């Protein structure tokens, strides 16, 4: 498996500095938080996109994903949602990233059936454009659809190879799902896996990998046992918790922790 980290852990950091962290600490890729407050987002010009892609290529680091904030199940018109997905897909294509990340984003007043149908309709439409660009859309296990079983209600309706799943291990665990069950549901659709650690279900403040209670060893074991050889991406949510330690000082121990888990599962 290859290791990446998310720029959510280093908010606002210039691309050159992000790449220095990746190369210094042995990470193969970076998930780019594609938000306007970050250096890389859909508003970049073609020249700016080309410069980012060239910097990653020169550093020997892969752009794993353009992690956007589209909420595909949210009520409302389809057009603005599809336009936002299209902008993300074009950004990913220009950066050489294989994936874009979207959220479910259903609302409390919405029935599960309506949320599922809305998300599936939009993703099915966007899948055709994703195919033209050679990029895959990944629905993260998150918010209204935090378990693999929830996400599969949408993905099962879409049934298109250009739409898959991003397994956020915290959300499936918070939803009461065991890693083996999450993987069994998501495996035919799995793009990559987001790992992290927290103190408890009531305190999701990010911790260094291995210092919390998330079943990371179980997740790595089930992935290894089934021969899955994709990406593990550390999402350290410093953007939302500015008081936590800087990610830079945690990257090497985090890599070593994941390497130990991988060796133990081999």
What is the pLDDT, as a whole number, of residue 80? 98
Determine the Cα–Cα distance for residues 8 and 6; give it in Å rounded to an integer: 5
Please compute the mean of the pLDDT values over residues 22-35 and round it to a whole number.
98
CATH code, domain with 75: 3.20.20.150
What are the angstrom distances between the C-alpha of 157 and each of 123, 142, 150, 153, 208? 10, 18, 12, 7, 37
Give the tens place of pLDDT for each residue, 172-228.
999 999 999 999 999 999 999 999 999 999 999 999 999 999 999 999 999 999 999
Count structural domains, the chain.
Answer: 1
Q: What is the pLDDT of residue 104?
A: 98
Closest CA to 169 of 129, 128, 140, 137: 140
Distance CA 4, CA 61 (A): 9
Q: What's phi and psi for 138, nearest 5 deg?
A: -115, 125
Residue for token pair 């409390």: 108
For 88-106, give one letter per residue: b (16+ CB within 10 A) or e. bbbbbbbbbbbbbbbbbbb
By residue range, what is the domain housing residue 85? 2-265
Q: Report which of 215, 218, 213, 216 is spatially closest to residue 200, judged by C-alpha positions.
A: 213
Are 253 and 236 in contact by the 8 Å Cβ rule? The answer is: no
- pLDDT tens, 115-166? 999 999 999 999 999 999 999 999 999 999 999 999 999 999 999 999 999 9
Distance, CA of 232 to CA of 255 (rounded, Å): 10
């Amino acid at each position: 498996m290859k290791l990446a980290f998310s720029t959510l852990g280093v908010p606002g950091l210039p691309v050159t500095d992000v790449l220095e962290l990746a190369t210094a600490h042995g990470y193969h890729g970076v998930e780019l938080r594609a938000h306007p407050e970050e250096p890389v987002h859909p508003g970049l010009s073609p020249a700016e996109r080309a410069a980012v892609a060239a910097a990653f290529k020169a550093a020997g680091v892969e752009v794993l994903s353009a992690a956007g904030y589209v909420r595909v199940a949210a009520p409302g018109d389809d057009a603005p949602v599809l336009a936002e997905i299209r902008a993300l897909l074009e950004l990913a294509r220009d950066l050489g990233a294989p994936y874009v990340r979207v959220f479910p984003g259903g609302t409390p007043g919405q029935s599960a059936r309506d949320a599922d149908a809305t998300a599936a309709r939009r993703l099915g439409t966007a899948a055709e454009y994703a195919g033209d660009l050679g990029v895959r859309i990944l629905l993260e296990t998150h918010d209204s659809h935090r378990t693999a079983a929830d996400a599969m209600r949408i993905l099962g309706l879409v049934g298109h190879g250009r739409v898959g799943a991003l397994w956020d291990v915290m959300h499936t665990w918070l939803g009461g799902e065991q890693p083996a069950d999450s993987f069994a549901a998501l495996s035919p659709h799995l793009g990559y896996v987001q790992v992290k650690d927290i103190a408890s279900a009531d305190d999701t403040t990010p911790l260094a990998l291995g210092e919390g209670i998330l079943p990371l060893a179980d997740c790595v074991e089930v992935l290894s046992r089934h021969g899955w050889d994709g990406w593990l991406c550390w999402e350290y949510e410093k953007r939302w918790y500015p008081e936590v330690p800087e990610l830079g000082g945690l990257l090497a121990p985090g890599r070593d922790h994941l390497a130990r888990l991988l060796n133990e599962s081999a």
